[in-house]
A and B are shown apart, each in its own frame.
Chain A
Amino acid sequence: MAAFKHNYAIICRIPQSFRDRSIGAQGKKMDVDKAKREYEQFKATLKNCDINIIELQEDENYPDCCFVEDCAVTIGGTALIARPVASRQGEVGEIRKVLRDDLGLKVVEIADPKATLEGGDVLFTGKEILVGIGKRTNEGGAQAVVDAFPEYPITPINIADLDILHLKNAINVAGRDILAICGGKEGKSIRSQMEQLAEYRCKLLHLESQVSIDMLYINGRLLHRTREEMGDSNYGCIDEKILYTRHRVSLEELSKAGGRIASMVLLVSKHRSQKKIISNLTEDDIAPFSQFKDLTYASNTLTKK
């Protein structure tokens, strides 16, 4: 079962309170109507993605409740309930209920009381998991990911010093074995850490802005922002590199509140009987034999000069 094959998408309507309480909007009033139009458009796009949509009722108490991604991490039949910042923790309950009761996933909770974790910091590449440790997720949260998904190599990426809220602000899955990574110091930092730690290789699609790497790979399709939002050069790059089906989504208003395409949806791949570990690992990824020989053994540092 390959990764990125999802059959359920959980989304949440935009509450009216989104107008003025959204955390990402720094003092600006949001255009809720426009945001709702974008949401509807996004939903329509999603419907074309061969997926069942579960739409949750908005909760006026949580203006960011439309960003459902942060509430949980789901891979295969396992769902790890996240622990977002305090102001959003109430959103988790509904998600938990849906995942556990409606979808029947194996729900895992975070044991460590000090841990924080938001779904936006967890990037499943299909082979391993990158966890951004920064503003919204701490090491305890990364630990929780390890505990919940011991099958996958978990690579912590330190993003505390970077100017991004979530890991997925700077890197996203663009396709099978393809990661889109933004430019600037964010991209550079993440890339160097990945080279050091990540176990499996994948192609990197370098784009300039964070907007341009805002994408969602789902069921063989790629959702990304419109040409107007990401700029011609980035769009052209995607045009050139991504040959499979693409859908364009405009999130002009929502993105002002920190919204991203991926943050709008919680994807679930639910199989009644999962017989394989969800992973895109191929034989090529598994330690190929190599005839390099460049290591010297010394039982004692004194022995060799």
Chain B
Amino acid sequence: MAEDGDTKRGEETSDVPTDHESSGIEDTDKSPSKNMADSQKSPKKAQTRPANTISCSVVLLDGENLEVQIEKRATGQQLFDKVCTHLDLLERDYFGITYTDDRDPPAMRYWLNLEKKISKQKKKGPWVFSFALKFYPPDPTQLQESLTRYLVCLQIRRDILDGRLPCSFVTHAILGSYSVQADKGDYDPAQHGYGIDYIKDMPFAPVQTQELLEKIHELHKQHKGETPEAADMHFLENAKKLAMYGVDLHKAKDSKGIDILLGVCASGLLVYRDKLRINRFVWPKILKISYKRNNFYIRLRPGEFESHEWTIGFKLDNHRYAKRLWKTCVEHHAFFRLREPDVPKGSTLFPRLGSKFRYSGRTLFQTKKNLEILGRDDRPLKRSNYRSTMPYGENRARSVDELAMRTHDRDPYDPGHANTLERKYSEDDYHNRSLQDDRNRSLPDERNRNDRVPTALATVGLPKGMKPYDPEEGETRTRGPGEYEEGRRPGSRENLTDTADRRHRTPGDQEATLQGEPVREEDAMAVPAGTVQVAVSPKNAKEEEKERKKREKEEEKKRKEELKKKQKEEKEKKKKGKGKEKIALVEMDRPSAEDRMGDDENATERAQLGHEPDAAELERSEGVMAGAGIARQGSVPEKEHDEDTDKKTDDKDKHDKKGKEKGKDKQKDKKDEGKKGGFLGKFKKPHKDSKSKLESPDGSSAAGAPVGDAHDDQAGLAGPGHTDAADKSRPHKTEVSTLTAVLSSASETERPVFQRSISVIKQEDSDDATSKDGVPGSGEGGVARKDDYGPGAGIGVGPGYSARAGGPLGGEMGDESFVDRKMFFMPVTPPPKEEKHDNKLKTGLNLSNDTMPFFAPSATSTTGRPGKVPPPVPVKGSSRGGLDSEDRSGHVKTDIPPTVAAERMKYNADLDDTRVSTKNVPVVKTETCTVTYEKEGTTGPDQDDAGVLISAHSHSSRTQTVETTTYKTEKDGVVETRVERKVVISSEDEDLDHDKLLAEAIRSVTEFNPDISVERIECMREFEDSEGDHSKYAPNTAV
């Protein structure tokens, strides 16, 4: 609430009491007289028409109290649109706005007729409204966007607390545990402490007991690895089955004067007496509904053996209630039963005495169709905002947790630093950004949407040569929304973005298509957050921040220095080998990287800090294309952007629009992406500039074009094959949010791939950088990388996510089913991608990418898990130093002997097959060494119960043999699946890039499944073939 409140305050001084967040807020509204003052506050609208505007407050589902300046003569639609725009809600037809009538108790809420003027409906009292779910979709899990599902979840949680949706203890526990998982992420004793204290302030049930909390806690522990989106899905899967789900109850009396309840729902009208359903009239059974005074009538179709129509009357307390019930029935019938709304007949032959009211919105059928047309990639959810604003204690707690989580995700190793830094920034930024945010808010989503469609057409027209920029396009899109979002929640940017990224990563499989765009946004957001965490500062985000804060400036300086260092490092790395760079990138993702070697630290810092670094890294990775030069360019533009930041905000809006348009275009014609890409790249560049994040884009754009081409090819290759994987990878995408942004530009099919690729650490960094920085170049690089990695990363990630999704969705058997998938994952990367990478990365970036993936998975996994379970973290923490040093030192050619990974996986996801192929890369001579990374506090695989052998697969390709053994152990009712994977890389070919293969192998394991935490990685490198007992990876190098 504080955040929102702050932002609002920025606009309007302080009319509305921010404290009244909860649904009951009615009293707190501003009086009309205050509106004038408010108008002054909000520069945009208020200034133009101070006299005619009124400020009304709308209580959102998360408890946020949204202040809206609106004309006094405005219709309900205008208000509704403003609210939906604020929420960035696309599937808005399910929702509505309620108000209260002074004559009725506050609990009695009326739906605002969107076609009529607000002033005609809300006649007395302050303009306080509530945003609520009006038509409960029969299957909310099929809602297209995670945002919509999230809102439905919030509504259901409210319904449960209100007692409108009665549940048994067991159901409260089930639903509550998913709420906790969505709000707080994985259970992490370090974060949440032992016991139920961390959820004791969360409301789950009208009456909640210690026992319930304990049960929720117990279940929550078992949702480990579920992204917030997945948790929401599971929540909805259960909630939709509840008998009273979506039933709108109205008190009435039957003809005998007995108290009954009339329930209006999607299927018809239900009659309850003492909670017992004594009658049920489905819509087909009802011929006519009407009301007269306080009577409500339904005329029934004659039954099978009846010849007469029946008319049944019910008495309500007064005529308003009768009309309200009638209108509800009319609307529900129209929405759920009709293909298109019933148009009131304009017949003037007979003057109508009654209401002409008809449902005027879209029907369920139409809204579904509409969304198919409008469809956008799933947007990144910024729950932190919502939740932070939520009136409920849970939300608040959650926001804090989220922040922490974010930091953890990004920097599993050094969570503390990142967290503190981020938080500070976020808080400070909040106020500063509020103004900008407000501006951003003003932008209507519709415009963007509209723009998108036309742009799509335009994109088609674009020359094919533009393809390479597809990723950029995606970026622009993402940027658009991202910027918008950022603008909305200035403070949230950093934190939110991080959270969003995590969430995206974690959530979900199913939502992948939707996520694309959101991811981008998130990515953009995430990057800044990452930078913030580092404290070094994301340049782009920082730029804005700098203006606001001196700290940021300092950070920027640091960043620049770091960038310089990074550039140097990059050069060095290039010299040393791509592998090192990759590692560096990986490290950068994680805050802990600082601890690592100085060079590595620099690199990591760069990555974390800034878009610039990221971009540079990306560029580096691209290597051949731009090389260091690109990075430099990127940095330069960034600086420029900083200067232009003021202008940028304005430009951003434009850019956003453009980006959206581009995004639409992309969506429409993925194939045309290449062509579009060119445009997008152009657009993106401006956007980036405007955003200030875009600084690097110029440099990147040059590189981006080639990359884009490569990406296109890759996308084309990966896209079709990986579509399945894409679904799976979606969660990954979310994690990699930055990547997703890039991906979004690419075709949808490609997107998933990209998301997968995101798992590669470098890619993530680059993506983050690109998205955050808005630098086209970086974006391109990220895209290219994504594409390249797409197969490999996609594979790894895909399974993990799919496992998550599958786990909940698939149910009990998920673990077993996953095993096979795992097999598929084993293959490292598709050859075509590699080739591309090689081209791009020849400088050495490729290696870095590979290594990146290795770490990246852990990073991704951590991100996916809100920090509770840093699966790879242990490895990083304890072994990182060793790894880093090894990697870095050995990068030149001796690096990365470590192999051995023992993973504990709870969920396995479906994976797509990917071919393993490796080519090029200078031969690296290595000594025999074994490095074992173990998760802290985890027992070695030996200690674990042997469990039941579920499956053992081996998959061999030309250069490697992957053996996957899956054990299942049941402990305390928790089924643990332990997967041991041994990858033997043997090569007779000198050209084989062992580092790369190793990195890929490790990546494939670490990324394998985000739900699975890596307990142990052993790397053995021998000149002679050897296999470690526990080593999952036993890379053998033959010189």
Q: Which A residues contact B (CB, under 8 angstroms)?
A: 1, 76-78, 106, 108, 128, 139, 142-143, 146-156, 196-197, 199, 271-277, 279, 281, 283, 286-304
Contacts and interface: CB of A to CB of B under 8 A. Distances in A.
B289 interface: yes
A276 B138 contact: no
B222 to A, nearest CB: 5
A303 B354 contact: yes
Interface in B305-350: 323, 326, 329-330, 333, 336-339, 342
Nearest to B973: A272
Nearest to A148: B168
Given A146-B275, A292-B284, A273 B218 contact: yes
Contacts of B166: 150
Interface in B218-252: 218-219, 222-223, 234, 237-238, 240-244
A291 B334 CA distance: 10
A296 B288 contact: yes
A64 B637 CA distance: 87
Contacts of A77: 169-170
A151 B242 contact: yes
24 contacts: A78-B168, A128-B243, A139-B274, A143-B276, A150-B171, A151-B241, A151-B242, A196-B280, A197-B277, A273-B973, A274-B174, A277-B170, A277-B171, A293-B337, A293-B339, A293-B342, A295-B283, A295-B288, A299-B323, A300-B291, A300-B354, A300-B355, A301-B292, A303-B354
B290 A279 contact: no
A146 B273 CA distance: 12
Interface of B: 138-139, 166-171, 173-174, 177, 218-219, 222-223, 234, 237-238, 240-244, 265-267, 274-280, 283-284, 286-292, 297, 301, 323, 326, 329-330, 333, 336-339, 342, 352-358, 364-365, 368, 808, 811-812, 972-974
Contacts of A287: 138, 265-267, 336
B279 A273 contact: no
Contact of A275 (B174, B280, B287, B354): B174
Given A275-B808, A299-B291, A299-B323, A155 B169 contact: no
A121 B342 CA distance: 44
A274 B368 CA distance: 33
Nearest to B290: A298
Nearest to B170: A77
A147 B275 contact: yes
Given A78-B169, A297-B358, A299-B323, A142 B276 contact: yes
A281 B237 CA distance: 10
Kindly name the residue among B290, B291, B297, B339 whose own CB sees the greatest number of chain A CB atoms within 10 A: B290
Contacts of A294: 284, 287, 301
Contacts of A128: 243
Contact of A292 (B174, B283, B973): B283
Given A154-B243, A286-B139, A277 B238 contact: yes
Nearest to A152: B243
A297 B241 CA distance: 29
Given A199-B267, A302-B354, 11 more contacts: A1-B811, A106-B168, A139-B276, A148-B168, A151-B167, A273-B218, A273-B219, A277-B242, A296-B289, A299-B290, A301-B297
A240 B978 CA distance: 45
Nearest to A145: B276
Contacts of A271: 973
Contacts of A283: 139
B358 A272 contact: no
Contact of A106 (B170, B274, B277): B170
B241 A277 contact: yes
Contacts of A76: 170
Nearest to B237: A276
Nearest to B298: A295
Contact of B290 (A156, A277, A297): A297
Kindly name the residue among B166, B171, B288, B972 whose own CB sees the greatest number of chain A CB atoms within 10 A: B171
Q: Which 3 A-B pairs have the closest CB atoms?
A: A272-B973, A299-B354, A300-B354
B276 A156 contact: yes
Nearest to A146: B275
A155 B355 CA distance: 35
A304 B336 CA distance: 24
A28 B242 CA distance: 47
B445 to A, nearest CB: 26
A162 B222 CA distance: 48
A287 B265 CA distance: 10
Given A106-B168, A302-B354, A276 B811 contact: yes
B241 A275 contact: no
A299 B138 CA distance: 27
Contacts of A156: 276-278
Kindly name the residue among A156, A273, A286, A288 whose own CB sees the greatest number of chain B CB atoms within 10 A: A273
A276 B138 CA distance: 18
B280 A296 contact: no
Contacts of B277: 153-156, 197
A296 B223 CA distance: 48
Given A139-B274, A293-B339, A151 B168 contact: yes
Contacts of B267: 199, 287
B170 A274 contact: yes
A231 to B, nearest CB: 30
Nearest to A131: B276
A23 B301 CA distance: 46
Contacts of B169: 77-78, 106, 108
Nearest to B365: A289
A128 B276 CA distance: 13
A107 to B, nearest CB: 10
Contact of B170 (A78, A142, A146, A301): A78
A105 to B, nearest CB: 9
Contacts of A143: 274-276
Contacts of B338: 291, 293
Contacts of B170: 76-78, 106, 274, 277
Contacts of B354: 298-300, 302-303
